[in-house]
Amino acid sequence: MKNFFLFILLAACILTGAASAQESNQADGFVYIPGGSFLMGSPESENWRIEDEVQHEVTVLPFYIDAYETTQEEYERLMGVDPATFSGENLPVENISWLEAVQFANARSLDAGLTPVYTVTEEGVSWDRSADGYRLPTEAEWEYACRAGTVTPFNAEKSLDAEEANFYGHYPYEIEENYFNNSVLEARPGKYRQTTIAVGSFAPNKWGLYDCHGNVNEWCWDFYGDYDLENTVDPTGPETGTRHVYRGGGWNDFAKNMRSAYRAAGQTDMQSFNLGVRLVRNAGTDRSGVVSAVDSELQTQTGNRILIAFFSWSGNTRRIAQEIQHQTGADIIEVAPVQPYSSDYNTCLMEAQRDQHDKARPELANHVAHMEDYDVILLGYPNWWASIPMPIASFLEEYDFTGKRIIPFCSHGGGRFGQSITAIAKLAPNSDIGNGLSIHYSGGSSMPEDVAAWLTANGLK
């Protein structure tokens, strides 16, 4: 009976939202999102679901949200710089950290004559919930607006293809287990653009919002952590943490990581070529209080005692690891499963996706005798199905990485890091993650120079 009434409420919200979006658009083009309740997270039956997507009923208050991801033109006008990897006024800004997104929100508030929402100090960031300025959406607001009343993996209520969203179009939803027979898929493989594109290039969701899936991921206010299943009215996330949530997937993501419920996480200072922002504003004065975001203290070790740990199947990552050892003289260990993956490429593809799908933790053949001896872990792996191979998950769960710097390097066939850094961030939450290096296959003749530049950028050369 409860689910029936929830369905009725959702249907009412869709109708109300559609009308209100037409009647209540502000001069800044933001769309009015009516308050209401919805099921946040994913049902256990949703394919490629992750355990942190526990489904629970949440109520959000009304708010306004930008119909579009913030563009480079908007960002540069207020901040004086354009940090984006891909250049274009109407392309979404990317390569901005969570803190830079917060500072941009304040700058836009001042520019519009509104009260800035955030106070930034050395201790952290506080959010005046009653202020009328621009801000980041909470994770609950983001998912509520993205879904627009839907309960399916995507707000289009069907699997998305490359003509409906900007992502790694070769890999639509559920391609992993159907790679050799994609005729059974709802969305077929399509174009991979390998870049961001102009905001608003595809049809919006039912509430008039563009690019909720793909193009760039979008920062949210919340620290990453388990959902609070008790505090479900306009939740703002954990009080402290080491990672912030970002949502929606980007131009190089597989469809499984664009689902409405999928949660990515990164450090406050993380910057990426597929990570931007979409701002929101309060609707009315029905919020009060101050919420603080204070990063949990990471007692980062200051030494440079380095361990190179890597998993390699074809040899590409091994060659990169050997070059790193050549340049650093560091200790090295190969992360090898007791039961190796098949030497046949096609068979290995299926074994790798099976292990990811099952969240497997393969037993490892090699172990680090004294992990406490190392301050920095250079962690290498191939990008498998847009994430880490599961032997790397086994390695990360075997040791305590508190205070250590983990600096990833990966070999890839076009997807760069995929969502592998999020996977590392979740599995080693008390580590400090450095600037990664992604190399196309084995890197060619420029690989030694690329490694040298990467080591220098991380203060290790």
Instruction: Tell whether the model's pLDDT for residue 338 goes beyond 90.
Output: yes
Q: pLDDT tier at 284 (50, 70, 90 boundaries)?
A: confident
Q: Are residue 334 and residue 430 in the same domain, yes or no?
A: yes
Q: Are residue 360 and residue 217 in the same domain, yes or no?
A: no
Which CATH number fits the domain that encloses residue 312? 3.40.50.360
Task: Return the pLDDT at 369.
Answer: 96
How many angstroms from the chain centroid is the CA of residue 406?
18
Q: pLDDT tier at 14 (50, 70, 90 boundaries)?
A: very low
CA atoms in the 13 A half-sphere facing the CB of 98: 27
Helix, coil or strand: residue 212 = coil
Asked if residue 301 belongs to a domain, the reply is no
Q: Are residue 278 and residue 313 in the same domain, yes or no?
A: no
Asked if residue 14 belongs to a domain, the reply is yes
Write the DSSP assignment of 178-210 as a string of letters. GTT-GGG-SS----B--S---TT-S---TTS--
Q: Are residue 57 and residue 90 in the same domain, yes or no?
A: yes
**For 19, which DSSP code?**
H
H or E, element range at 125: strand 124-128
Euclidean distance between CA atoms 265 and 257, whole angstroms: 12
Q: Are residue 241 and residue 138 in the same domain, yes or no?
A: yes
Q: Are residue 281 and residue 313 in the same domain, yes or no?
A: no
What average pLDDT does this structure show over 401-426? 96
Q: Are residue 319 and residue 181 in the same domain, yes or no?
A: no
Which pLDDT tens digit goes with each residue over 358-405? 999 999 999 999 999 999 999 999 999 999 999 999 999 999 999 999
What average pLDDT does this structure show over 422-451? 96
Q: Are residue 230 and residue 343 in the same domain, yes or no?
A: no
Task: Return the pLDDT at 114.
Answer: 96
Asked if residue 343 belongs to a domain, the reply is yes
* Token representation of residue 397: 């769960």
C-alpha gyration radius of the chain: 22
Q: Are residue 192 and residue 311 in the same domain, yes or no?
A: no
Q: Are 380 and 319 in contact, with CB atoms under 8 Å apart?
A: no
> Terminal CA-to-CA distance of the chain, rounded, Å?
64
Final residue belonging to a domain, choices 275, 295, 315: 295
Helix, coil or strand: residue 120 = strand
Looking up tokens 């992604």, which residue turns up?
Answer: 438
Q: Are residue 288 and residue 327 in the same domain, yes or no?
A: no
Task: Return the pLDDT at 6.
Answer: 40
77: phi then psi, degrees, rounded to nearest 5 = -60, -40
Write the DSSP assignment of 23-60 as a string of letters. H---TT-EEEE--EEEEESB-TTSTT--GGGB-EEEEE
**For 432, which DSSP code?**
E
Q: Are 155 and 251 in contact, with CB atoms under 8 Å apart?
A: no
* Residue type at 280 in one-letter notation: V
CA 10, 226, 297, 242 torsion-angle sign = negative
Asked if residue 156 belongs to a domain, the reply is yes
Euclidean distance between CA atoms 237 and 217, whole angstroms: 18
Euclidean distance between CA atoms 187 and 172, whole angstroms: 6
243: nearest Cα among 329, 345, 139, 313: 139
**For 174, which DSSP code?**
T
What average pLDDT does this structure show over 167-180? 98
The mean pLDDT value of the chain amounts to: 93
Write the DSSP assignment of 232-291 as a string of letters. -BS----SEES-EEEES--TT--GGGGSTT--EEE-TT---TTEE---EEESSS---SEE
Q: Are residue 271 and residue 330 in the same domain, yes or no?
A: no
Beta strand 275-276 with 217-223: parallel, antiparallel or unpaired? parallel
Q: How much of the chain is in helix, strand and coil states, percent to nearest 5?
A: 25, 20, 50
Q: Are 171 and 254 in contact, with CB atoms under 8 Å apart?
A: yes
**190 is in which domain, residue-wise?**
2-295
Final residue belonging to a domain, choices 295, 316, 342: 295
Asked if residue 300 belongs to a domain, the reply is no
Looking up tokens 């559609």, which residue turns up?
Answer: 18
Q: Are residue 451 and residue 347 in the same domain, yes or no?
A: yes
What average pLDDT does this structure show over 190-200? 98
* Token representation of residue 171: 């890999």
368: phi then psi, degrees, rounded to nearest 5 = -90, 120
Instruction: Tell whether the model's pLDDT for residue 26 goes beyond 60.
Output: yes
Euclidean distance between CA atoms 359 and 378, whole angstroms: 23
Final residue belonging to a domain, choices 250, 274, 295: 295
Which CATH number fits the domain that encloses residue 210? 3.90.1580.10
Which pLDDT tens digit goes with each residue over 46-97? 999 999 999 999 999 999 999 999 999 999 999 999 999 999 999 999 999 9
419: nearest Cα among 226, 309, 255, 278: 255
Task: Return the pLDDT at 123.
Answer: 87
What average pLDDT does this structure show over 114-125? 95
* Token representation of residue 24: 């209540």
Task: Return the pLDDT at 301.
Answer: 63
Look at the chain and report how many structural domains it folds into.
2
393: nearest Cα among 410, 411, 381, 405: 381
Q: pLDDT tier at 169 (50, 70, 90 boundaries)?
A: very high
Q: Put residue 259 in one of left, alpha, beta given phi > 0 → left and psi -120 to 50 → alpha.
A: beta
Euclidean distance between CA atoms 236 and 220, whole angstroms: 10
What average pLDDT does this structure show over 291-311? 83
314: nearest Cα among 349, 361, 356: 349
Beta strand 134-135 with 217-223: parallel, antiparallel or unpaired? unpaired
Task: Return the pLDDT at 304.
Answer: 85
Q: Are 109 and 280 in contact, with CB atoms under 8 Å apart?
A: no
Asked if residue 111 belongs to a domain, the reply is yes
409: nearest Cα among 429, 428, 436: 436
What average pLDDT does this structure show over 327-352? 98
Helix, coil or strand: residue 295 = strand
